[in-house]
Amino acid sequence: MINKSLKQLGAALAAKEISSVELTTLFLDRIERLNPEINAFISVDRERSLTQARAADARLAAGQGGPLTGIPIAQKDIFCTTGWRTTCGSKMLADFVSPYDATVIARLHDGAGMVSLGKTNMDEFAMGSSNETSFFGPVKNPWDRQRVPGGSSGGSASAIAARLAPAATGTDTGGSIRQPAAFCNLTGLKPTYGVVSRYGMIAFASSLDQGGPMAASAEDCALLLNAMCGFDERDSTSLDRPVEDYARDLEKPLAGLRIGLPKEFFNDGCDPAVMAAVQTAIDQYRKLGATLVDISLPNSHLSVPAYYVIAPAEASANLSRFDGIRYGYRAPDYDSLDDLYMKTRAQGFGAEVKRRILIGAYVLSHGYYDAYYLQAQRIRRLIAEDFASAFKACDIIIGPTSPTTAFKLGERTTDLVKMYLSDIYTIAVNLAGLPGMSIPCGFADGLPVGLQLIGNYFAEARLLNAAHRYQAATGWHEQRPADIDLNG
């Protein structure tokens, strides 16, 4: 059961081959046995999960279940979840228990009937590309436990790769779903900005953050996206548009699909072994009937500097609410209100979060706003216009997800520029608000390689179709880590 797809698990539950309680217990037992070594989960509540599973079984017995009812899922610890600790990977929220559900959680649990297994580890406040900034310690990559799983959704990625969960939620501000998916041989999708509600998702950078699904395959992600999406009046950025079936085109042939190859993605900045796997994947798409088109994204090299002005600026505003007054960590000793603020934030935030708050406050300050923040927003517009121009010549864009495979734990913690460049191929997608996904496309020196697919606005179904047809022809997504117990 631990290696079955969501569609297969749904069929098994519907046919009463297994109950949700039995399936949930299977994954909870694996978490208990394997999580101490991998550190993918921050919080697990066996009885709460089994209570949800019993409710799902009753729903199925009454004939009221859907395709995901009774299937367990891991939740990134950035989504507020009633009765669960919601820490965002930070000391600041280490003991915070949410009194309400994020919209994503409510739709998966109450709407689709899925069972939450627990809350997954993550970079603190989603700020990181390696899952090493978490207050609860780094997450290890099941493919090589000396390496990172990627970030910030590294706990979700590691949990799926180790088969501690069949699927998980993630969030993506600059690549935080796609890069961990690439490092852990998974499929991860960042939808168009505004398609998935951000209500109850603890904010990092509000104009960039977007929730999305992580699973083994494109078919699984399509089922999850169907349950996650929809207009939410509680989120001012939620888009009011018709509900889609994102699985509708999965089997559509790829003949005539125009694939854009940006010259900026195929250069010396990518590891040769990674690029070889990507080129092989491109050849496979040609065999499947797609047409390759050379394109250019001339301002893509500016995405990293623009992002590291805009994202910290928004973070400095969003994280000002953590002051020790209303909720979260409070410094035990202080002499005045100002002293309380300073000590609470100094003690409650980790180094990376402090660094980004300081940068953000600086670029928004008088005398620097025009020079930095306003200029970064202008670059953002140029990047969006590059994509708009490119999509006149192609239907989707393909390239590497990350310039390297998973790097070793501690390897980049003192080289911040190198760490930030881990997301050089993914950040532009967030700046433009486009949908993007990563799918497995091979291995380099025994480590997974991710292929990034980028679509025009609201082209999730087309991306999932291209990913699914590729996966049906290759099977890279079915590979499992050799040193993980896969026997239940």
SS3 452: strand
Query: How confident is the model over 381-405, as a mean pLDDT?
Result: 98
What average pLDDT is seen over the chain?
A: 97
| Active site positions, annotated | 76, 152, 176
The pLDDT, as a whole number, for residue 482 is 84
160 pLDDT above the threshold of 60: yes
Q: What is the pLDDT of residues 435-456, one digit of tens each?
A: 999 999 999 999 999 999 999 9
Single out the residue of 163, 168, 180, 186 nearest to residue 34, CA to CA. Answer: 163
193 pLDDT above the threshold of 90: yes
Q: What is the pLDDT of residues 296-318, one digit of tens each?
A: 999 999 999 999 999 999 999 99
Pairing, β 115-120 against β 72-76: parallel
Q: What is the pLDDT of residues 41-67, one digit of tens each?
A: 999 999 999 999 999 999 999 999 999
**Other beta carbons within 10 Å of 77:** 31
Q: What is the pLDDT of residues 222-249, one digit of tens each?
A: 999 999 999 999 999 999 999 999 999 9
Q: What is the pLDDT of residues 74-86, one digit of tens each?
A: 999 999 999 999 9
Supply angle C-alpha 124, 130, 134, rounded to 5: 25
In 142-185 the beta strands, taken as DSSP E runs, fall at: 167-171
Whether 117 contacts 165, CB under 8 Å: yes
Is the entire prediction scored with pTM above 0.95? yes
Query: How confident is the model over 138-164, as a mean pLDDT?
Result: 98
The pLDDT, as a whole number, for residue 487 is 53
The pLDDT, as a whole number, for residue 161 is 98
- The domain 6-257+468-478 having CATH identifier 3.90.1300.10: the answer here is yes
Single out the residue of 165, 211, 208 nearest to residue 184, CA to CA. Answer: 165
The pLDDT, as a whole number, for residue 268 is 86
The pLDDT, as a whole number, for residue 106 is 98
For residue 322, give Cα distances in angstroms to 101, 131, 214, 347, 420: 20, 22, 29, 12, 25
The pLDDT, as a whole number, for residue 68 is 98
Q: What percent of the chain has pLDDT over 70?
A: 99
Tell me the Ramachandran region of residue 254: left when phi exceeds 0, alpha when psi lies from -120 to 50, beta otherwise. alpha
